[in-house]
Structure 1
Amino acid sequence: MNQVYITRAAKYLPGNAISNDEMEDYLGYVNDTPSKARALILRNNGIKTRYYALDKNNKPTETNAEITAKAIEKLFDENFTKEDMELLTCGTTSADQIQPSHASMVHGVLKPSHSIEVNTSMGLCNAGMNALQYGFMSVKSGNSNNAVCVGSERFSAWMTADKFNHEAENLKQLEEKPIIAFKREFLRWMLSDGAGTFLLEKQPREGEVNLRIEFIDFFSYAHELEACMYAGCEKQEDGSLKSWAEYSADEWLKQSIFSLKQDTKLLGDFILKKGAQALRASFDKNNLNPDDMDYVLAHISSNYFKDGLREEFAAVGLDFPKEKWFYNLSEVGNIGAASIYIALEELMASGKLKKDEKVLLCIPESGRFAYSCALLTVM
């Protein structure tokens, strides 16, 4: 089996950084009314700026596939060109279409002169790590000599006011308050657009920051817990999900069936606790010592969770000092499947990493509570 190295990393963030006060200029006003929940949600999540592939007329400027391709193109140089690419593996929550697959669409945008293997990982925040795992296993096994792995999102197009105005109008006709449900509005003020990408190869590159992938682990708790974050469905009283296909087309609009929703109570009850349980299991499986970690990159959806995550990790014997944690959420927002890629790219570009240091990646997914983690060694 081959060793596998992250030899290059790149990111693409569309447009300019957008401040909290500008958000509704891009997303629009539901029912022509400023959100009352926005300030509270932003105060708790601690996000200061984010990126949207939108203009101020609420119109998309780029597709997810185009955002992804622009990140990948930054990997190419005289030592690794578009024509050298053998495997493209992409993870996203927010593909531009149900079919064809996201990776096929990205391949079509890139237009290399040859056929390549493509893989798409769909899901939520772990979709990017699933894509990385596929590339890791392919290079490790010798199936491919290199892999371009990507996490990307274009959430903004899901969050524009027109996607919720039908629901608000329906509530008005029912003589109820025309305010969209908190479970939907919560995520309007959390999510951001962008893409991050890694090049995986069998050999490290001279003169570059190289990270050897030691392992990638995944843990799902769907056998214990109901869905917490979902789209294209509606949650029922018994916790089950009713598919969009079981609703009429009229109900799709009136109930914002395709919007991304989150059960915030379930999130608070389990997201940190199960994350600590998963990481403890990974450390036991791989016989790791928490004192050996030099950097901890944990994807979090909100700065609200920072202290709680440290405490939950410490409670299971994984007490990482504050100075070892690396975050960029406040500056780029929550970019879902791309978040861990973009955080690691920034760390690699920072000049801080030294040979033999250990970098731990931790990614929670609140969809139905799934977690991934990975250990990297600086070469």
Structure 2
Amino acid sequence: MYDVFITKASTYLPNEPVANDEMETYLGLINDVPSKAKSLILRNNKITTRYYAIDREGNPTHTNAQLTAKAIEGLFDEHFKKEDMKLLSVGTTSPDQIQPSHASMVHGELNIGKSIEVNTATGLCNSGMNALNYGFLSVKAGVQENAVCAGSERMSAWMTADKFNHEAENLKLLEERPIVAFKREFLRWMLSDGAGSFLLENKPRADSTSLKIEFIDFYSYAHEIEACMYAGCDKQEDGSLKSWADYPSDEWLKQSIFAIKQDTKILDKYILVKGAESLRSSFDKHNLDPEKIDHVLAHISSGYFKDGLREEFAKKGMDFPPEKWFYNLSEVGNIGAGSIFIALEELMNSGTLKKGEKVLLCVPESGRFAYSCALLTVC
């Protein structure tokens, strides 16, 4: 078994940052009416700018595969050329197509000129960590001598007004208020586009900061809790999900079946509590001392959860002081599977990390409440 190190990190954020008052210029107005929910959601999530892979007319400027490839290209240098890549492992919530796999499309964009092993992790925010874990285990076991891992999202194209206008028109026909349900509109004001990537190798770099991966742990609570965040389906009264394939095709647009939705009631009830429970399990499993942690990077979907998360961790005996937490949510937005990559890249390249420090990564996924965490040591 080999030690595994993140030897380089790279981020790609498309176009210019989009301010709060510009969002509907890019995403459009549902039913030609400004959103009444937008200001409340933005006030709570504390996001001030985000990035979109679309222009002001809603036209695409990048595919998800292109965003991911551009982030990965930043890993290539005199020490590691693209033809040196052995494994490509990527995760996303928002692939450009159902098939082929996202990793295959990214491989094609990179124009490496040779066959490599590819792996795609699907799901929600944890898909990036799942992709990282696949690369970590492959290098650790000696199956591959290096791995490129990435997390990315291109949610803007899912959130343009034209994706919701049919539902609003249908509500008019039913003589109801033509206002799209809050669970569908909520995420329009939360999500951002971008990609982050890591190079994993079995030796640290002598001339720059490397991070040794000590462990990556995963926890799912789907045996206890129904789905909270979902797309390509709709939730029934009993909490089950009805697949898009079981709806007549004319209902797909009328009910915004493919829109990504959030059940905010169960989100508030479980997301922080189960996050603290899962992290406590890892600290017990690895016999970790919370006081030995120097930096805490927690992916949160909204600034609304920042104080609550710290409080829930403290209740479980993991009281990390405010100065140890690192966030960039307000500047880059919620990039789902890419968020933890993008945050760690910023910290890793900030010049503030010191040899021997411990960096904790925490990633929640509200899909059906799954969590991951990882411990890194600065080399």
Bin for the TM-score computed over the shorter chain: over 0.9
CA deviation map 1:179-227 (0-9, x unaligned):
1110010000000000000000000011111000000000000000000
Per-residue deviation, 1:295: 0.2
Residue 216 of structure 2 aligns to a residue in which SS? strand
TM-score by length of 1: 1.00
Residue 235 of structure 2: aligned partner: 235
Q: Distance in 1 between matches of 2:23 and 2:371?
A: 30
CA deviation map 1:119-159 (0-9, x unaligned):
00000000000000000000000000100000000000000
Residue 305 of structure 1: aligned partner: 305
Task: State the percentage of identical aligned residues.
Answer: 75
Which residue identity lines up with residue 22 of structure 2 in the other structure?
Answer: E
Q: Distance in 2 between matches of 1:251 and 1:60?
A: 26
TM-score by length of 2: 1.00
Q: Distance in 1 between matches of 2:117 and 2:76?
A: 18
The 5 Å alignment of 1:112-151 reads 112-151=112-151
Q: Distance in 2 between matches of 1:19 and 1:186?
A: 17
Q: Distance in 2 between matches of 1:96 and 1:172?
A: 31
Q: Distance in 1 between matches of 2:57 and 2:113?
A: 37
Residue 195 of structure 1 aligns to a residue in which SS? strand
- Count of residues in correspondence between the two structures: 379
Residue 366 of structure 1: aligned partner: 366
Q: Does 1:70 align with 2:70?
A: yes
Coordinate RMSD, CA, aligned: 0.4
The 5 Å alignment of 1:26-175 reads 26-175=26-175
Residue 144 of structure 1 aligns to a residue in which SS? coil
Q: Distance in 2 between matches of 1:209 and 1:158?
A: 37
CA deviation map 1:219-254 (0-9, x unaligned):
000000000000000000000000000001100000
Q: Distance in 1 between matches of 2:146 and 2:64?
A: 23
Residue 192 of structure 1: aligned partner: 192
CA deviation map 1:90-125 (0-9, x unaligned):
000000000000000000111111100000000000
Per-residue deviation, 1:9: 0.1
Q: Distance in 2 between matches of 1:36 and 1:255?
A: 20
Q: Distance in 2 between matches of 1:206 and 1:22?
A: 44
Q: Distance in 1 between matches of 2:172 and 2:41?
A: 24
Per-residue deviation, 1:17: 0.5
Residue 196 of structure 1 aligns to a residue in which SS? strand
Flag structure 1 segments of 5+ consecutive residues without an equivalent. none
Residue 205 of structure 1: aligned partner: 205
Residue 376 of structure 1 aligns to a residue in which SS? strand
Which residue identity lines up with residue 153 of structure 2 in the other structure?
Answer: E
Residue 103 of structure 2 aligns to a residue in which SS? helix
Per-residue deviation, 1:88: 0.1
Residue 22 of structure 1: aligned partner: 22
Per-residue deviation, 1:7: 0.1
Which residue identity lines up with residue 212 of structure 1 in the other structure?
Answer: K
Flag structure 2 segments of 5+ consecutive residues without an equivalent. none
Q: Distance in 2 between matches of 1:167 and 1:180?
A: 7
